[in-house]
Chain A
Amino acid sequence: GAVVSQHPSRVICKSGTSVKIECRSLDFQATTMFWYRQFPKQSLMLMATSNEGSKATYEQGVEKDKFLINHASLTLSTLTVTSAHPEDSSFYICSAAPEGRVLQMTQYFGPGTRLLVL
């Protein structure tokens, strides 16, 4: 089946530093990737939608200058949390929609990245 990986699986960083999270589709090409954020005991909240080769579309309330998304290829999207602060600590999850199957609403999820900002 389709596999999506995320790296790193967990990261601890100091306040003020930047952290990059990678999302890769391993055996398919993804035209569209989504980034979600999950707080403890809460649902996944969509942060942004990224399409290969174009700028990401951010949800209302998500700072695009803080959460930089790059979808440079059909198999890789990156989320960079710039100048991270403790309130950015969360579980970040990506999903990827296979090329040509977005309309079928098929998405495959990565295992998530746990970010802890000290």
Chain B
Amino acid sequence: GDSVTQMEGPVTLSEEAFLTINCTYTATGYPSLFWYVQYPGEGLQLLLKATKADDKGSNKGFEATYRKETTSFHLEKGSVQVSDSAVYFCALSDRRYALNFGKGTSLLVTP
């Protein structure tokens, strides 16, 4: 079945450092891919998405490109801030529009 694998955390970075969180997927067909973020005490929020190969999703300085050839959707940000500290989930949607999540990567950004 469909699945998502993302890098284990926690990831600790200094403010203004470059961030990469790896995500790879296995799926039949052509899923849409998502990154969700969960801030402490809050619900999951959609960060960005891409619906077809080579699409780039971007939001709040974060970017991810749908790479069909490598089945990847890595999340990147050029300069992280303390306020980016959260748990990040990579996900794909299946034919039923439900979401299939990775395990989540905890990010801590220190001043």
Asked whether B42 lies within 8 Å of A111 as measured between CB atoms, the reply is yes
Q: Is the CB of A105 within 8 A of B32?
A: yes
Distance (whole angstroms) from the CB of B109 to the closest CB of chain A = 20
Given the known A-B contacts A43-B104, A105-B93, are A93 and B44 also in contact in the complex, defined by CB atoms under 8 Å? Answer: yes
Residue numbers in A under 8 Å from B45 (CB-CB): 109
Contact among B41, B42, B93, B103 with A43 in the assembled complex (CB-CB below 8 Å): B103
Q: Would you call B89 and A44 a contact (CB within 8 A)?
A: yes
Chain A residues with Cβ below 8 Å from B96 are 49, 57
Q: Which of A4, A44, A97, A111 contacts B101 (CB 8 A)?
A: A44
Residues of A within 8 A of B4 (CB): 43
Interface centre among A42, A57, A93, A105 (most CB of B within 10 A): A105
Q: Are B99 and A46 within 8 A (Cβ)?
A: yes
- Contacting A at CB under 8 A, from B29-48, are 32, 34, 36, 41-46
Given known contacts A109-B43, A109-B44, A111-B43, A44 and B97 CB-to-CB distance under 8 angstroms: no
How many A-B residue pairs lie within 8 Å, measured between CB atoms?
Answer: 50
Q: Which residues of A contact B101 (CB under 8 A)?
A: 36, 43-45
Q: A95 — which chain B residues lie within 8 A by C-beta?
A: 44, 99
Kindly state the separation between the CA atoms of A42 and B97 in the bound complex, as whole angstroms. 21
Interface residues of A in 35-62 (CB under 8 A from B): 36, 41-46, 49, 57
Residue contact A34 to B42, C-beta cutoff 8 Å? no
Contact between chains at B43 and A44 (CB < 8 Å): no
**Closest Cβ neighbor of A94 among chain B residues:** B43
Q: Which residue of A lies closest to B96 (CB)?
A: A49
* A112–B43 touching, CB < 8 Å: yes
Most A CB atoms within 10 A — which of B42, B44, B89? Answer: B44
New A-B contacts (4) at CB < 8 Å, excluding given A41-B103, A46-B98, A105-B93: A103-B97, A105-B49, A107-B99, A109-B44
Closest 10 pairs (CB-CB, A-B): A109-B44, A109-B43, A43-B101, A111-B43, A43-B103, A44-B101, A105-B93, A46-B98, A110-B43, A102-B97
